Amino acid sequence: MPADGGADRRLLAGWGRTPATAADVVTPRRAAEVGTAVAGADRRGLVARGLGRSYGDAAQNAGGTVVDMTGLVGLRAFDGDSGLATVAAGTSIDALLRALVPLGWFVPVTPGTRFVTVGGAVAADVHGKNHHHDGSIARHVTQLRLDTPLGARTVAPDRDADVFWATAGGMGLTGVVTEVTLRLLAIRTSLVRVDTERADDLDDLMARMVAGDARYRYSVAWIDCVTRGRSLGRAVLTRGDHAEPDDLPAKRRRPGRGDLLGYDPHVRLAAPGWMPSGLVRPLTARLLNEAWFRKSPRSRHGELHSIPSFFHPLDGVRDWNRMYGVRGFVQYQFVVPPAAGEVVRTALERLTAARCPSVLAVVKRFGDATPGHLSFPRPGWTLALDLPVGPPALPGLLDELDELVVAAGGRVYLAKDSRLRPELVAAMYPRLDEWREICARLDPDGVVQSDLSRRLGLRPDARPERPRRRRDGSARGASVRPVGPARA
């Protein structure tokens, strides 16, 4: 970042805490400053970063500029009739929920953590437990403000639709989103009515999900992925919907007896910073899985949960990612078509056989895809696994699973990836070339880049040593730039 001198060289890593890289971080407070940053980025380009909850290297840009969007926050406009809210892209879902739940509104889609920005959620086209019912977040976005190297523009599903859909799921590589207009969901209470059941094995689980998911807005299964053999895939399935006032016990409904829309998230525990490296080892993974399974009810109906406990259970432990120790962990999440559920079984079998058990394994059914070129969700089964780095067999095993996923017509989630082989991206995302053309049009000099895009070669037109044009089209020399933290 030239001129304003506001850049600060910092090491950045993703949520998985795997290798960090250094970049010059700028933190704009106003949308206009984003434009300045985009225009001023040099040869190593720039990318936006939200709250850094992507697991891998999507929000990093080694040696270049990273635009920290968390300084650009706030509700810009809200229409209480239509539920349309316009928010600054750095606003977190946490902040939105605090402001909107008491007014009777909920975000249309939330990932498993509320500590993500709206911009980051759009860039990954995130899905929630309601994907089978409501699709991913881009379905509920009516408009975006996007800053590109050739200038800022407003895009929508019916206005520059190709740019809109290249951006939704485009991992920040079309430019910086500064503002998002979302259609919110009206709720009448801040509680969720939840049904819980246990499934004995994977077939049982999938059958229950196929038969019953349509009755629920939200559905997700936690799999005990340490168990082998016949009960492989035994699981706890939780499904539910926002509670209506009638679902609440009579005494809570009486006027004056507490607010139906009360919302009070608070982080209860913090994982201590001294947590020994590798606390989560195969043995502890086994114990955790066993304990969780045993404590879950065989079957329970109509239980009332708070929003944080149902949607964001992991947020109750701050910095829980530290538990995996200094070497960090990778998250492996893939989706395969409805008929390829066997890949889920094979993945679980191979990981347990190779003694790489996951601490968290989540299965969900996806509904319809959005037209996003690089959007991850498509109809079928998705499995997400947290895998501590360390077992020597892990890299090769995940490479093998990638092959199965590709052969089944599936893909892995780029927001969670940190280790995919570049040559598989095009097979997983068949519209990659179409997306690349849109990027090249928006950013002919390949200014928008990230560690993810370099590692996977997502934008082959972006070369490190390329000179770039200014916004007025004149060329700028590839002068050698001084290296170091403070550049005037």
Ligand X SMILES: Cc1cc2nc3c(=O)[nH]c(=O)nc-3n(C[C@H](O)[C@H](O)[C@H](O)COP(=O)(O)OP(=O)(O)OC[C@H]3O[C@@H](n4cnc5c(N)ncnc54)[C@H](O)[C@@H]3O)c2cc1C
What is the strand order of the sheet 329-336 is part of?
Answer: 299-306, 191-199, 235-242, 218-223, 361-366, 380-388, 329-336, 411-412
**Residue 184 binds: one of ligand X, another protein, none (C-beta under 5 to 8 A by kind):** none
Which of 17, 43, 53, 139 touches ligand X (CB under 6 A)?
A: 53
198 touches ligand X (CB under 6 A): no
- Integer Cα distance of 330 and 19 in angstroms: 11
Which of 44, 132, 140, 436 touches another protein (CB under 8 A)?
A: 44
468 touches another protein (CB under 8 A): no
Q: How many helices (H) and strands (E) does the chain have?
A: 14, 21
Which of 1, 48, 243, 397 touches ligand X (CB under 6 A)?
A: 48
Binders in 4-23 for another protein, by CB under 8 A:
9, 11, 16, 18-23
427 touches another protein (CB under 8 A): no
**Residue 227 binds: one of ligand X, another protein, none (C-beta under 5 to 8 A by kind):** none
464 touches another protein (CB under 8 A): yes
The answer to whether 420 and 382 have CB atoms below 8 angstroms apart is: no
**Residue 465 binds: one of another protein, ligand X, none (C-beta under 5 to 8 A by kind):** another protein
Which of 33, 57, 315, 443 touches another protein (CB under 8 A)?
A: 57
- Integer Cα distance of 471 and 460 in angstroms: 22
463 touches another protein (CB under 8 A): yes
User: How distant is the alpha carbon of residue 392 from its chain centre?
Assistant: 27
**Residue 217 binds: one of ligand X, another protein, none (C-beta under 5 to 8 A by kind):** none
Which of 455, 458, 459, 468 touches another protein (CB under 8 A)?
A: 455
Residue 180, token pair as written in the block: 């998002």
**Residue 58 binds: one of another protein, ligand X, none (C-beta under 5 to 8 A by kind):** ligand X
Q: How far is CA 269 from CA 266, 312, 313, 386, in A?
A: 9, 14, 12, 20
The answer to whether 412 and 433 have CB atoms below 8 angstroms apart is: no
* Closer Cβ to another protein, 250 or 480, answer by number: 480
54 touches ligand X (CB under 6 A): yes
327 touches another protein (CB under 8 A): yes
* Closer Cβ to ligand X, 72 or 232, answer by number: 72
Residue 183, token pair as written in the block: 């259609």
Question: CB 432: neighbour CB atoms within 10 A?
Answer: 16
- Amino acid 72 reads L
**Residue 111 binds: one of another protein, ligand X, none (C-beta under 5 to 8 A by kind):** ligand X
Helical H runs in 25-157?
31-40, 93-100, 118-123, 131-134
Residue 142, token pair as written in the block: 């009516």
Stretch that binds another protein, among 51-59, 286-294, 317-325, 427-435 (CB under 8 A): 51-59
Residues 156-175: x/- map of binding to ligand X (CB under 6 A)? ---------------xx---
Which burial class, exposed, middle or buried, applies to 408 when counting CB atoms under 10 A from its CB (0-12, 13-18, 19+)?
buried
CB of 210 to another protein, least distance (A): 33
Q: What are the two backbone dihedrals, phi and then psi, of residue 13, each rounded to the nearest 5 degrees? A: -135, 170
Radius of gyration of the chain (CA): 22
**Residue 394 binds: one of ligand X, another protein, none (C-beta under 5 to 8 A by kind):** another protein
Binders in 296-355 for ligand X, by CB under 6 A:
314
Q: Scanning the structure block, which residue is given the tokens 């699709």?
A: 135
- Amino acid 87 reads V
Residue 245, token pair as written in the block: 């006032």
CB of 25 to another protein, least distance (A): 11
Binders in 342-401 for another protein, by CB under 8 A:
389, 394-395, 398
**Residue 350 binds: one of ligand X, another protein, none (C-beta under 5 to 8 A by kind):** none
Strands (E), 70-190: 75-79, 84-88, 105-106, 141-148, 151-155, 176-183, 185-186
Which of 473, 472, 453 shows the shortest CA–CA distance to 462? Answer: 453
49 touches another protein (CB under 8 A): no
- Integer Cα distance of 333 and 356 in angstroms: 15
Q: What are the two backbone dihedrals, phi and then psi, of residue 337, each rounded to the nearest 5 degrees? A: -60, 160
- Integer Cα distance of 53 and 377 in angstroms: 18
476 touches another protein (CB under 8 A): no
Residues 5-24: x/- map of binding to ligand X (CB under 6 A)? ----------x---------
Binders in 116-145 for ligand X, by CB under 6 A:
116-117, 119-121, 123-124, 126-128
**Residue 250 binds: one of ligand X, another protein, none (C-beta under 5 to 8 A by kind):** none
Instruction: Tell me which residues touch another protein (CB under 8 A).
Output: 9, 11, 16, 18-23, 44, 55-57, 61-64, 326-328, 330, 389, 394-395, 398, 417-419, 421-423, 451, 454-455, 463-465, 483
Q: Which residues lie near ligand X (CB under 6 A)? A: 15, 47-54, 58-59, 69, 89, 111-113, 116-117, 119-121, 123-124, 126-128, 171-172, 176-177, 314, 415, 450
